[in-house]
């Protein structure tokens, strides 16, 4: 289920209504990238072309001031049991400017090169390594592979030279006046930049998502899978253990039959009655909500504004705008008022009451769902003005 939810998060970016949630000062993803101002600082040898005589052209920084997004899609390998997610990104053009050096042993800036990168296509595949935990498959690690396809080209190459010495000026002038030379240098340098940056992104994504799943598994999933740990409830002396009475056998049978069976009071039938025979709870569908009067309050409770993002000098607004929980009418394996001592621990293969005396007086109510699906659409508004990432006070929605 965790993997399915993670896939849903990525698929939301392709939802047509996602870009139409807010108007005015807010942007969809394509609008944000079109207005983006991003600076990439490069290492001394991260982005260098072949030697030009005694010189070597190396990019110091690259400033991206606009990205025209073409397509963004996501697919999973298996809907019922997803093990990997592939995100395909197509970019029409990236408008960029790079500051460059010409000497291996000098950090003096020589000039600038403005250019447009065309026809960029890349795919990011996230593979999920899973582990079995009490009969459930949960995500353990994430492995990311980002591939940039061939076919990248360059257009509108313009070179500007700074004032320098004789050799520097003439070498830069030569690059400036010979478009073929400049494009050839870009053919060498840009793939190196992409390779170096993509490997860093892969490592960051792997670490971040693996840590995220570890936290979710340890704190929100594992504690609730097969968790029937008895509670310590003091029992005064002289009290009778009524769970051994035949009365509770009758109560357990009656409630299991009434709520778990195919009667008018059956839990699945009750859920169908209040969900118009769908078994779904829908919020934010503009007319088809399950509890339309409560929808505005639910949406308000699931909206969080002005979350500070620290070093990015940014704020984050997050809000769920739609969700659909389906499969609520597939309850099965129901047990009501069943003595807890009859429950076998799947790890020790003994009664869960072996180590706690008062467990013998406790009852359990349990049920399972044959199917549960959760679909969520959310709005993510980010406003940033930092030296590295400048969005001009715009927000992505």
pLDDT category, 143, cuts 50, 70, 90?
A: very high
Residue 276 lies in a domain: no
Burial of residue 329 (CB within 10 Å: 0-12, 13-18, 19+) is buried
Give the count of domains, the chain. Answer: 1
Q: What integer pLDDT is reported at residue 9 of this predicted model?
A: 35
Residue 62 lies in a domain: yes
State how far the Cα of 387 lies from the Cα of 41, in Å rounded to an integer.
11
Distances in Å between the Cα of 38 and the Cα atoms of 2, 57, 94, 250 are 32, 22, 11, 70
Residue 16 lies in a domain: no
Q: What is the DSSP letter of 344?
A: B
Residue 132 lies in a domain: yes
Q: Is the pLDDT of residue 188 over 60?
A: yes
Here the CATH number for the domain that contains residue 94 is 3.15.10
Three-state secondary-structure class, residue 246: helix
Least confident residue range of 5-19, 129-143, 319-333: 5-19
C-beta of residue 377 within 8 angstroms of C-beta of residue 12: yes
Q: What integer pLDDT is reported at residue 310 of this predicted model?
A: 64
Residue 313 lies in a domain: no
Sign of the dihedral defined by the CA atoms of residues 104, 109, 111, 112, in that order: positive
Residue 11 lies in a domain: no
325-336: average pLDDT: 84
State how far the Cα of 193 lies from the Cα of 188, in Å rounded to an integer.
9
Residue in 61, 53, 59 with CA at minimum distance from that of residue 168: 53
pLDDT category, 14, cuts 50, 70, 90?
A: very low
pLDDT averaged over every residue in the chain: 76
Q: How many CB atoms lie within 10 A of CB 22?
A: 16
362-388: average pLDDT: 75
Q: What integer pLDDT is reported at residue 13 of this predicted model?
A: 38
C-beta of residue 22 within 8 angstroms of C-beta of residue 6: no
Residue 92 lies in a domain: yes
| φ, ψ (nearest 5 deg) of residue 245 | -80, 150
Give the structural domain span for 41. Answer: 36-222
Burial of residue 224 (CB within 10 Å: 0-12, 13-18, 19+) is exposed
Residue 63 lies in a domain: yes
């Amino acid at each position: 289920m965790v993997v399915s939810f993670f896939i849903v998060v990525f698929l939301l970016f392709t939802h047509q209504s996602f870009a139409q949630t807010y108007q005015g000062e807010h942007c969809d993803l394509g609008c944000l990238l079109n207005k983006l101002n991003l600076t990439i600082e490069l290492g001394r040898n991260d982005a260098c072309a072949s030697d030009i005589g005694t010189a070597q052209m190396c990019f110091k920084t690259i400033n991206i001031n606009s990205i025209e997004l073409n397509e963004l899609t996501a697919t999973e390998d298996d809907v019922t049991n997803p093990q990997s997610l592939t995100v395909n990104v197509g970019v029409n053009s990236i408008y960029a400017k790079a500051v460059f050096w010409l000497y291996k042993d000098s950090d003096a800036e020589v000039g600038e090169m403005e250019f447009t990168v065309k026809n960029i296509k890349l795919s990011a595949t996230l593979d999920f390594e899973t582990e079995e935990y009490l009969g459930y498959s949960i995500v353990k690690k994430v492995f990311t592979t980002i591939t940039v396809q061939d076919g990248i080209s360059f257009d509108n190459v313009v070179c500007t030279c700074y004032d320098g010495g004789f050799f520097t000026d003439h070498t830069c002038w030569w690059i400036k006046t010979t478009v073929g030379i400049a494009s050839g240098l870009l053919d060498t340098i840009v793939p190196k930049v992409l390779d170096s940056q993509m490997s860093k992104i892969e490592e960051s994504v792997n670490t971040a998502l693996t840590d995220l799943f570890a936290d979710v598994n340890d704190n929100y999933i594992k504690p609730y899978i097969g968790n029937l740990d008895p509670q310590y409830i003091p029992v005064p002396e002289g009290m009778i253990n009524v769970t051994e009475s035949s009365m509770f056998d009758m109560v357990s049978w009656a409630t299991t039959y009434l709520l778990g069976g195919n009667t008018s009071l059956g839990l699945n039938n009750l859920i169908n009655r209040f969900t118009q025979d769908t078994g779904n709870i829908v919020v934010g569908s503009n007319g088809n909500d399950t509890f339309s009067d409560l929808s505005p309050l639910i949406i308000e409770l699931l909206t969080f504004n002005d979350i500070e993002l620290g070093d990015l000098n940014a704020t984050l607004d997050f809000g769920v705008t739609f969700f659909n929980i389906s499969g609520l009418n597939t309850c099965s394996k129901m047990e009501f008022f069943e003595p807890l001592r009859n429950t076998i621990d799947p790890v020790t293969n003994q009664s869960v009451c072996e180590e706690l005396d008062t467990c013998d007086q406790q009852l359990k109510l349990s049920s399972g769902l044959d199917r549960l699906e959760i679909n969520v659409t959310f709005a993510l508004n980010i406003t940033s003005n930092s030296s590295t990432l400048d969005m001009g006070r715009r927000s992505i929605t």
